[in-house]
Amino acid sequence: MPSFNPPLRVLMGPGPSDVHPRVLAAMARPTIGHLDPAFQALMEDMKDMLRYAFRTKNRLTMPASGPGSVGMETCFVNLVEPGDTVIVCQNGVFGGRMKENVERCGATAVMVIDDFGKTVDLDKVKKAIADNPKAKVLAFVHAETSTGARADAETLCKMAQAAGMLTIVDAVTSLGGIPLEVDAWGIDAIYSGSQKCLSCTPGLSPISFSARAEQVIKSRNRKVQSWFMDMSLIMNYWEAQGGARTYHHTAPINSLYGLHESLVMLKEEGLEAAWARHKKNHMALRDGLVAMGLEMLVAEKDRLPQLNAIKIPAGVDEAAARKRLLTDYNLEIGAGLGALAGKVWRIGLMGASSTPNHVTLCLAALEGTLAAAGAKINRGVAQDAARKVLFAS
């Protein structure tokens, strides 16, 4: 059996995004023990850098060992107990997963539903809060990767606080890509993912809990149903209480080297500069797509720069076109999910995949592929439209 050698792809789907060679190189460094003093120093640096990325002073800030879904579940199982009520906003696939988590905790999910592609309707949330004064938590997705819509996280958090409710926020696709202010917005529990705008390999989920959330965890009526995700146990490894850390599970050492490196790179670039880069590359891609005659799914004011959903032109076999992008250009873009399956493509401009090169390649590849598929598009104009944004003057 030969060794596995993956093809070199350009990753412009909904994640994973391209992993920078510096991150891959970091992951190839020698494995050491998860309680080695040198590794413990990396853990402390990691927590500090995550606080920087999340814009928080929360003590309880660390990467959960597992993909974004584990971060999601960690937030829910620690804060939600049987009999609780949670208001869940759903305007895409991931809000639906929040409902699953709430119900599996033995709690009741009160759903606030909006169409796929729309932002979370604040008036509906206001009504749900008024109708459910005993609700404990408001949960929503900041950047809905299944549609490319952004929620007004700041306003949603303020509404929850005014009602004395906690917030659980999905920031898997927002962290590092768009403004996110954990402390200023008063977010109580947040989870992200390593493989989207942080451009590390998949499998780690940065999480953070406010002091208020920490109190709620400490005063639970019963044990967290999940042993693996119980923060009261995980804390004993990630917090050096009196200098002694104790084994919980073997940390994914080399993956953590990778996340450490991607956070070092984020700090070098600067968080605001990273947000600005995502925005600029998005505007270039959008202008190119629109010049070609393609239509964006999400209204301009609610659009995420890092996830661009475009409507598939009439008559195009979407799966065949995506396959050609992969075989002809080594370019991966995403299909539609859930209610949008077969209707949109999702083009990611996340982390190391948010560069002028990615924009330029994607526009050229789409133009060639759509023309070959017989779609009616405007040819020879997309690159100039993108150039005007990318290389002004």
Task: Give the residues lining the site for ligand PLP (CB under 6 A).
Answer: 15, 67-69, 72, 94, 141, 145, 170, 172-173, 193, 202
Of the pair 150, 324, the CB lying nearest ligand PLP is at 150
Residue 8 CB neighbours (<10 A): 6
What are the C-alpha distances in Å from 12 to residues 24, 236, 290, 294, 326? 18, 38, 18, 17, 11
Residue 196 phi/psi, 5-degree rounding, is -105, -105
Of the pair 313, 334, the CB lying nearest ligand PLP is at 334
Instruction: Report the nearest approach of ligand PLP to the CB of residue 297 (Å).
Output: 16
Of the pair 17, 56, the CB lying nearest ligand PLP is at 17
Written as one string, the DSSP assignment of 314-381 is TT--HHHHHHHHHHHH-EEEEEP-GGGTTTEEEEE--GGG-SHHHHHHHHHHHHHHHHHTT-----S-
Instruction: Report the nearest approach of ligand PLP to the CB of residue 146 (Å).
Output: 7
Of the pair 173, 281, the CB lying nearest ligand PLP is at 173
SS3 212: helix
Instruction: Report the nearest approach of ligand PLP to the CB of residue 196 (Å).
Output: 6
Instruction: Report the nearest approach of ligand PLP to the CB of residue 320 (Å).
Output: 25
Instruction: Report the nearest approach of ligand PLP to the CB of residue 74 (Å).
Output: 12
Cis peptide before 16 (omega within 30 of 0): yes
Is 358 in contact with 330 (CB distance < 8 Å)?
A: no
Show the 3-state SS of 73-100.
HHHHHHHCCCCCEEEEEECCHHHHHHHH
Helix (H) or strand (E) holding 190, with range, is: strand 189-191
> What strands, in cross-sheet order, belong to the sheet with 189-191?
60-65, 204-209, 189-191, 166-170, 137-141, 85-90, 108-113
Of the pair 75, 291, the CB lying nearest ligand PLP is at 75
Which residue's CB atom is positioned nearest to ligand PLP? 68
Instruction: Report the nearest approach of ligand PLP to the CB of residue 307 (Å).
Output: 8
Of the pair 69, 85, the CB lying nearest ligand PLP is at 69
Instruction: Report the nearest approach of ligand PLP to the CB of residue 141 (Å).
Output: 5
Q: Is 55 left (phi over 0), alpha (psi -120 to 50) or beta?
A: left
Of the pair 69, 355, the CB lying nearest ligand PLP is at 69
Q: Which two tokens stand for residue 293?
A: 């005659």
Instruction: Report the nearest approach of ligand PLP to the CB of residue 255 (Å).
Output: 12
Calculate the CA 277 to chain-centre distance: 17
Of the pair 67, 186, the CB lying nearest ligand PLP is at 67
